[in-house]
Every structure is written in structure tokens, then in C-alpha cells.
Amino acid sequence: MSEGILRQNLGERGEFQRVYLMYLLFETPPQLPDTETMCRKLAESFPEGIEPAGQQDAPENQILFSLPSHLVSYQEGDAPALLLMGTVEPLGQGLIAPIQRTQQWECPESEELLKKARYQLLISDFMAAGLPYLERCEILTRWSEAAVRLFPECLGVWFVSSGKLVTPQQILENPYEDSDRFLLGGMNIRYFAVDGTKDFLVDTLGLYAVGIADVQYHFHDLNPDDVVDHAFRVASYQFAEGQPIENGETVEGFSPKKPGGTDSAQIQWPCSYELSLIQPRRRVLDIQPGRFAAGRRRK
């Protein structure tokens, strides 16, 4: 990974994504199968039903697939959610920012992979933002799995909202269960040392895109690995349960004196919903780790 001091762009905002973007990365341009062949193979991941959509509704040079079992309600009536596939294009120079390249903790081969990547292929949902978010996220998870099976030459999948690179093998061997399966690519956990201090910041990135607040910790004198583990568990709970933690409530913390930072019901860390400290600016659940909290806090 690259090292050094990174400048923030706090003008960058993280907002709910009405179209959720993922890019398959390739070393050489892949050959797209015809629509019927793709639909037949995608049916393995969508056994409840998938069919080619009317291309008159598709953006230019893009392919749509309809999911008739996943209906979105509009004033005019219900309509099926759609999957979208774009065309193969040269890799965009601005697709992956320098700050994002430093945060690929779960993909150690990221730099080597990105050096090989020369082409990109967009996959996304379309007109699916009105679905219950867990249903939408399950569709997106299955879409990424189906896509890497469809294109075995794919080097990796770039999840735009989470700023996370995931290999096809990781996607096909997803270790998580139930709703957590989306978090493999849909949520990144980032770790930053604050320049000029002994403070650190751990946050999640990606939940904002589907309407759930990310989590954030600004701290000192805790093992960052323990904080990352805590962040995953809190974010997973928030995601699975529809963001039940209220402003001003507490979560169980942990003591650094215990092996692995074991949680303890005796240690409670207060939480508040705030704007994030690190770009993109978005709503986060800021978790204040007691005497290990850093920075100024609201009283």
C-alpha cells in the first residue's frame, strides 16, 4: 500500500445511492455473451425469475434484466427491480482515488491487481432503490456473484460506495452469512493515524449508500485491531436490525487489559449521530470509547 500524508476533500459527500455501482476489472477486454446466454446463466443466481427487460428503457449501450419477483411500488403501480450491465471501457483514471488505495486491508494483492487492470465493466441495480434495503442488498450480493461467474477472467470487483476491492475468489467464497454477505464488498473498514498526534480513527464506509449510518471511532491507546473487530460487530448489528441504536444510547465497550479486547457489559461507550471526520462527509454513529476517546465531543 502507498504511504504518506493524505489530504482530505471534505467537499466529497456520501449520499444514498439510487443506483448502486460496481465495476468488474479486467486486464484485457472481455467478450460479452449475448443477452439470452447471459440471462440463462444469471438464472442460476436468480432462480425466482430473471428475464431480459425492454431495452427502450435502458441507458445507451447498456443491458437491462428484469426481476419480476422483486417489485418496487410507485404511484403509477408496481414495477420490477432491474439489473444493469454496461459496456466494456478503458479503466477510468479517477475511478480509484489515492486515499482509497491505502485502505485495501482485506485485499493484500490490491496494488498488483490494479497494475494489471486496464478495462472496466459496470454492473449495478436500476430502479431498485425503493426496495426494502435488505432485499436490495441481497440482490446486489447475488448480482456480484453471478457476474464473476459469468466473467471468469475478471481480476476483481470495485465497489464504488465502499471504496473496496474484492477478488472473485473472495466473492465466491464469501465467509459471511445472511445479511452480512453484503458487507464483504458493500462495507469497508478503514484505519487512519491522525498526523501530528497519537490518535487514530477507525470507521466503516459503505452503509450510507443504502440508507444506514456508518460507524466511527476517534481514539488513542487502544489496539486498532480490536476497534476494527468492534466496528464490524456494531455495523453488522445496525445493518441487520434497521439501525436500532438511538442517539445518546450506549454500546458495550471493552477493556484493553483483557485479551483481544473482550467486550464487557460493565463498560459502556456512548454513541451519537454526527457528520464523519473523514471523507466522504456522511452521517455516522460516532462511538466514544470512554477514557480512550480522542478529539472534542459534544456535551
| Band of pLDDT at residue 209, cut at 50, 70 and 90 | very high
> Whole-model pTM?
0.92
Q: Do residue 112 and residue 248 come from a single domain? A: no
Those residues whose C-beta lies under 8 Å from the C-beta of residue 114, and which sit 6 or more positions away, are 25, 96, 101, 165
| Band of pLDDT at residue 258, cut at 50, 70 and 90 | low
Calculate what percentage of the chain has a pLDDT beyond 90: 81
* Domain limit, last residue, from 153, 185, 217: 185
148: number of Cβ within 10 Å: 22
Q: Do residue 205 and residue 283 come from a single domain? A: yes
Provide the residue range defining the domain that includes 241: 187-292
* Domain limit, last residue, from 166, 185, 204: 185
Q: What is the pLDDT of residue 163?
A: 96
Q: Do residue 172 and residue 43 come from a single domain? A: yes
Number of domains in the chain: 2
User: E strands within 62-133?
Assistant: 63-74, 77-90, 119-126
The Cα–Cα gap between 231 and 253 comes to 11
The Cα–Cα gap between 131 and 17 comes to 12
Q: Do residue 82 and residue 170 come from a single domain? A: yes
Residue 7 gets which letter from DSSP?
-
CA-nearest of 243, 94, 84, 83 to 160 is 94
| Residue 145 and residue 22 in contact, taking contact as beta carbons nearer than 8 Å | no
Q: Do residue 51 and residue 177 come from a single domain? A: yes
Q: Do residue 92 and residue 157 come from a single domain? A: yes
User: Is 298 inside any structural domain?
Assistant: no
User: Is 117 inside any structural domain?
Assistant: yes
Residue 178 gets which letter from DSSP?
G
User: Is 25 inside any structural domain?
Assistant: yes
Q: What is the pLDDT of residue 103?
A: 94
pLDDT at 82 over 80: yes
* Domain limit, last residue, from 131, 151, 185: 185
Q: Which cell numbers hold the place of 150?
A: 459469468
User: Is 121 inside any structural domain?
Assistant: yes
User: Is 214 inside any structural domain?
Assistant: yes
SS3 call for 90? strand
The Cα–Cα gap between 13 and 16 comes to 10
Q: Do residue 181 and residue 221 come from a single domain? A: no
Q: Do residue 194 and residue 55 come from a single domain? A: no
| Band of pLDDT at residue 93, cut at 50, 70 and 90 | confident
39: number of Cβ within 10 Å: 18
Mean pLDDT check: name the lowest of 56-60, 61-65, 109-113, 231-235: 56-60
Q: Do residue 158 and residue 249 come from a single domain? A: no
pLDDT digits (tens, 9 = 90+) for 263-273: 566 899 999 99
Q: Do residue 212 and residue 176 come from a single domain? A: no
Mean pLDDT of the residues in the chain = 91
